[in-house]
Structure formats: C-alpha cells, structure tokens
Amino acid sequence: RPYVVGLTGGIGSGKTAVSDKFAELGIDIIDADIIARQVVEPGTPALKAITEHFGAAVIDADGRLDRAALRQRIFSDEQRRQWLNKLLHPAIRLAMQEAIHQSRSPYCILAVPLLIENGLDGMVNRVLVVDCPEHIQLERALARDGSTEQTIRGIMASQASREQRLAKADDVIDNSGPLSAIAPQVLKLHQAYIEFSARL
C-alpha cells in the first residue's frame, strides 16, 4: 500500500508550483481536478446518470459534459447540488484510490484543493499544506486568472480559512517568499516522506 501525502492549500497558494517540484523528484502526483474531469468523460456511468437526471441540455455538441450548463442547473438548488455530490464524490474517491494503487514511486502526492473542506484528509497518511498570507494568495490569483478581486475573494470565502487548514496540517510549506524558496523545503520533506514510507 503506497504512502500518500495529501497536498492542499487555498486558491493561488502555490499547490501547482509545489507539486511540480515533487514531480521533478520522480514522485507520482495524483491530481483531484484531473480525476474529477475523468469520471464524467463520455462513456462513464457518472455522465450517463447526469444526463438522465438533468437532461440532454447538459451535454455539448461533442458529447461532453457542458459544465456551465450543469452549474446553472445546480446554482441555487441545494437538492440538485446534493444529488450531484452524492454521485460524484464516491466516483472521484474510487478513482483516486485506483490511481494511488497504480503508483510506483516511494510515496505519492494526492493534490486536492478541497482536501479539508471535503473531509478527504482521512484518505491520506499525511497532510501537507501550502501556506501564504491571504493578501498574497489574492495578489497571485489575480495576476494569473484575470478574474476580478470580488470573484477571488468569493472563492476564498467558500474555502477553509488559513487557520482551519493549518490546524489540519502535519507539514507546511511556506510560500510567502520567492519561487526559489520552494525547492529546498520540498527536498527536506521528500527525504522525510521516504523515511516514513519505508517504515510503513
């Protein structure tokens, strides 16, 4: 059974910058965002169930899930949202477990933006939080996305707070400094994780 490190952090905190460094060290990265898209690809049981529940209007001309159309249908409809979560969350969890099982690196990283919010911290051996002050998160997300400050602030408000996340952290990468400060922190954790996984 592979040793699993859950990597999380708020919008713009630097999760991708950090997971890129682990990948350079040969560590398998399992990305929850990619898995969440894979479970609703054409031909999947989840997409079939969604089509039956919401109608063909949520499928685009290529037979793919029209996320904007689906979002409109669950927006401000708590029952529909719950139905969708009850379908997707177990499917995503199962696909993550399969990916973990396939991993052959000394340990693997499960990158999940909403690890704590969705209670997935029970799936991992260790929680690694990428942390920086909220004003820096906002600044970096703004520079990257071209979204408005209001949109980013809305997303931040819907996510766990910095304090909630840090309370669940076994390890923290401080990403308040320059990009060059990430690699040495990753290397130190990498060495620790190899030891932990060998003891498992």
Beta strand pairing status for 171-174 and 28-31? unpaired
Q: Which is nearer to ligand ATP, 56 or 157 (CB)?
A: 157
Contact status: 144 vs ligand ATP (CB under 6 A): yes
Strands (E), the chain: 3-8, 28-31, 107-111, 126-131, 171-174
- Number of chain residues interacting with ligand ATP (CB under 6 A): 15
- Tell which one of 2, 6, 14, 106 touches ligand ATP (CB under 6 A): 14
Contact status: 15 vs ligand ATP (CB under 6 A): yes
CA dihedral of 86, 90, 95, 98, whole degrees rounded to 10: 180
Between CA 66 and CA 64 the distance in angstroms is 6
Q: Which stretch binds ligand ATP (CB under 6 A): 39-47, 48-56, 84-92, 173-181?
A: 173-181
Between CA 23 and CA 29 the distance in angstroms is 7
Q: Which is nearer to ligand ATP, 28 or 106 (CB)?
A: 28
Contact status: 141 vs ligand ATP (CB under 6 A): yes
Within positions 40 to 99, which residues make up the interface with ligand ATP, using CB under 6 A? none
